[in-house]
Structure 1
Amino acid sequence: MKDCTIYKTVDIIGKKWSLCILLELYKGERKEKRFNELKAKLQDVTPKTLSQRLRELEEQGFIKKTLDDSAVPVKCEYSLTESGEEFLNIIQNIKKWGLKWKFENHDCENSNCRLCKL
């Protein structure tokens, strides 16, 4: 089973906070977000876990990290890669399925995930 594509994918995105991080990077007008912005949105995540998940998602190609060392302090921003953006399309389809078959959520029905404030 360890070679199964589905198992490998779930292993990446099934870790606690990974999906939430991807969603936060997707939301809003700005495509780049700094560590502290993500930490503020994901209030219950510890800095250590957030840092670890960001590193893992970067290694897996879902996100990219951009450093701006032209000034002090160095600015580090995270954004979705093309692969990460495409993955969010899959999440949108999961949302549609959930709304159709499992959950009643009028706010979610009428909201684009990019504009979601939840």
Structure 2
Amino acid sequence: MKDCTIYKTVDIVGKKWSLCILHELYKGEHKCKRFNELKNKLQDVTPKTLSTRLKELEEHGLVDKIVDDTVFPIKSEYSLTESGEEFLHVLQNIKQWGLKWQFENPECGGTNCKTCEL
């Protein structure tokens, strides 16, 4: 099992909050989001978990951390990498599966996740 690509991939993106973090980084007009912005959108995530997941997603090349040390306090922003952007296609497929087999949500089905306010 340790060499199975599915197991390895799930180990990266299957941890609690990882998919939601990627989704929040995708949403909205701004490509970059600050830590507190993500924390406010993901209301139930703890700061420690959010920090850990962001580091893991950065290590695996799905998220970029941009640090501006020319200002005080130092400003850090997070954005999706090309790999992270491409992974959003997987999330869209998950959404379509959920709408087809699990949830009746016409509003969500007719909404582009990029512009979703939920």
Q: Same fold (TM over 0.5)?
A: yes
| Rounded Cα–Cα distance in structure 2 between residues aligned with 1:109 and 1:52 | 31
Shift of 1:98: 2.0
Task: Say yes or no: does 1:42 pair with 2:61.
Answer: no
Deviations 1:71-95 (A, max 9, x none): 1111000000000000001111121
Shift of 1:4: 0.5
| Rounded Cα–Cα distance in structure 1 between residues aligned with 2:20 and 2:11 | 15
Task: Say yes or no: does 1:28 pair with 2:37.
Answer: no
Taking structure 1 as the reference length, what is the TM-score of the superposition? 0.96
Shift of 1:21: 0.5
| Rounded Cα–Cα distance in structure 2 between residues aligned with 1:44 and 1:100 | 27
Q: 2:106 is matched with which residue?
A: 106
| Equivalent residue letter for 1:108 | C
Deviations 1:30-78 (A, max 9, x none): 0000001001111111111110000000001010000011111110000
Alpha-carbon RMSD across the aligned residues, in angstroms, is 0.9
Q: Which runs of 5+ in 2 are unaligned?
A: none
| Equivalent residue letter for 1:86 | E
Q: 2:75 is matched with which residue?
A: 75
Q: Which runs of 5+ in 1 are unaligned?
A: none
| Rounded Cα–Cα distance in structure 1 between residues aligned with 2:16 and 2:114 | 21
Taking structure 2 as the reference length, what is the TM-score of the superposition? 0.96
| Equivalent residue letter for 1:17 | W
Partner SS, residue 64 of structure 2: strand
